[in-house]
A and B are shown apart, each in its own frame.
Chain A
Amino acid sequence: MAKEERHINRLNMISKGWNLVFAIILLIIALLVIIPMVLIVIISFSSELSIANKGFSFFPDEWTLNGYKYLFKTGDQLLDSYLITIFYSITGTVMSLSVMTMYAYVISQRNFKHCRFLTWFLFFTMLFSGGLVPGYILNVRYLHINNTVWIFLLPSLVNAYYTIILRTFIRTTIPDTLFDAARIDGAGHFRIFISIVLPLFKTGIATVGLFSLVSRWNDWFIGMLYIENPKLVPLQTLLTKLQDSINYLKQNAAIAGTPDGIALLRTLPQESLRMACTVAVILPILFAYPFFQRYFVQGLTVGSIKG
């Protein structure tokens, strides 16, 4: 594959002049993408005085670590949010994957009597939905899972689109003849699923798992709509709350009760602290992303195959 790519590149080679023009255009666009993120990082290192004098700037008058220092001192809320987000992102992804891969296996079996019906039963939910309000009433009035950890796990348990991607993965990567051979050897569906499908299917699971992990990590809506308990506020929801008021971080800081703490909180560097918080939220994903990029590309391509 890599060899072939290089071959294409050689054939497709453009003249040096155009190469330079393209490279410059592409670089400008890359800068457009990067610069806003760089600004956030720089603000997190800018002193309050500098911000008061010349606003947010790429070249602050004074650099400081205060934003991060205060983040560590008043960071109890951030820590809680980190813990709950990590917990439900991982638990939710594992739960989802186990339920979805099983269903994907079932609807990948063309010989199964209800294969078509079950596919449609799933697919229809992509075409038509009750929307926000009936779901909200169901969760709050009838299931009472708002303000509990279940709200992060149950309503998003199955994603129809991912399940269909998983089915396509199974159908395209595992030949039917393998299933037939296993069945002739007397293996049941459970056996086939666990000892043939799962091992052959690692990339598919990894791809969908990463997609669903990232979307959970990035979700702020559930927290905004259903969560009041500060212990359960997810990271991204915390960020939206901080945008309204940095005070949200204060009220849950353990030091808030002590005299030193009160003095400390009075001198809170608002802007740099908020940006330090933002950096703390996006850092894990931006660092991890280049490593799992490969899986994303794979998922993108399979997602567009009709199974």
Chain B
Amino acid sequence: MLQRKGSERGKRRKKSFNREDIPLYFMALPTVIYLIIFCYLPMAGLIMAFQNFNVTKGIFQSPFVGLKNFQFLFSTTDAWIITRNTVCYNLVFIAVNLAISISLALMLSSLRWGTYAKVMQTTYMMPYFLSYAVVAIVANAFLHRDNGLINSLIRMSGGIGKTNWYHQQSIWPPLLVFVNAWKGVGYQTVLYLAVISGISVEYYEAAVLDGATKLQQARYITIPHLRYIVGISIILAMSSIFRGDFGLFYNVPMNQGMLYPVTDVIDTYIYRALTYLNNVGMSTAAGLYQSVVGFILVIIVNNIVNRIDPDSAMF
């Protein structure tokens, strides 16, 4: 169809084969080969979800077992727990990080001391550059049973201070939300701050002339200007709501079995099914479940956004 359009328009070079375009094919080639091997081939590899995969036999010789892997996956409560954890944590993360980072950005942008605001902003973003391997060590310095800061503080104030925090399920949901915010809020704050500093001064001038208070300026000028960028961030986050942050959920709780009911997400489950149980079929089945539901969610979210505000839609 595109080609027909091209030829109808006759002499406009648009959309028809062109010798001058040959270099473009060469420039695209490495990435195309990469995408075929490392992205599209593994998609075909999802067929292992329906096999009793055997490493020595490989994909082509392993016997098919129908939906057995899925039956195995959904016959326990595991599937429900990991789905609930992944989705709920992600929803809370989106809400908490958004609330904190917008408040921080508003405060920073209205501060009278510019350099002070710059220093704060730089500080907030620092944890973004730490890996979860490091974050886990930092968390451990607080939570360690014998030496950890929390237990020493409890001991100093007269308590026993021998709690193994890595066995206490109840503290982990708020703790993970905190750690995730600690690491991620700075990045979002800087993003929103960049948008706020790009808002034209004229809006504020007009508002001041009309006698608007600072609060009204924030409410009617700054926040509406943030709507677009916030929309985009929410959509991006919603579209990966079925993916758990592996580092956060595996490293920070140090892969403690007793915490699985509150820390296990789809990604950590797949990893363990692959490396500890060596169950390729079932872990692929879990992966396929994640990819398919995730894909459907992206399409739904994008459709809804398209209806409300086509400009913020992804495609």
Contact = CB atoms under 8 A, between A and B. Distances in A.
B261 to A, nearest CB: 22
21 contacts: A9-B114, A18-B214, A36-B142, A37-B127, A54-B152, A55-B148, A55-B155, A113-B2, A116-B2, A130-B44, A130-B287, A138-B38, A158-B31, A190-B23, A193-B27, A217-B131, A240-B251, A271-B147, A278-B137, A285-B129, A286-B126
Interface in A230-253: 236-237, 239-240, 243
Contacts of B20: 183, 188-189
Contact of B45 (A121, A130, A285): A130
B149 A56 contact: yes
B201 to A, nearest CB: 5
A137 B45 contact: yes
B248 to A, nearest CB: 12
Interface size class of A (residues with CB under 8 A): 35 or more
Contact of A129 (B37, B42, B138, B217): B42
Given A34-B123, A99-B30, A100-B31, A130 B141 contact: no
Interface in A35-51: 36-37, 39-40, 43, 51
Interface in B105-126: 107-114, 116-117, 119-120, 122-126
Given A36-B141, A129-B291, A134-B287, A243 B46 contact: no
Nearest to B56: A141
Given A7-B201, A131-B42, 14 more contacts: A11-B205, A19-B113, A36-B138, A56-B147, A56-B148, A113-B15, A133-B48, A136-B274, A154-B38, A190-B23, A225-B275, A289-B129, A300-B194, A306-B312
A102 B33 CA distance: 13
Interface size class of B (residues with CB under 8 A): 35 or more
B303 interface: no
A5 B195 CA distance: 12
Contacts of A278: 134, 137
B133 A240 contact: yes
A129 B43 CA distance: 6
Interface string A8-49: 110111101011001101110110111011011001000000
Contact of A214 (B42, B129, B133): B129
Interface in B4-51: 6, 13-18, 20-21, 23-24, 27-28, 30-32, 34-35, 37-46, 48
Nearest to B111: A22
A218 B288 contact: no
A200 interface: no
Contacts of A290: 122
Contacts of A109: 24
B151 A55 contact: yes
User: Secondary structure at chain B's binding surface: helix, strand, loop or mixed?
Assistant: helix
Interface string A53-81: 01111000000000000000000000000
B95 interface: no
Nearest to A26: B120
B253 interface: no
Nearest to B266: A131
A220 B195 CA distance: 33
Contact of B283 (A22, A113, A122, A133): A133
Nearest to B146: A55
Interface in B286-307: 287-288, 290-291, 294-295, 298
B110 A14 contact: yes
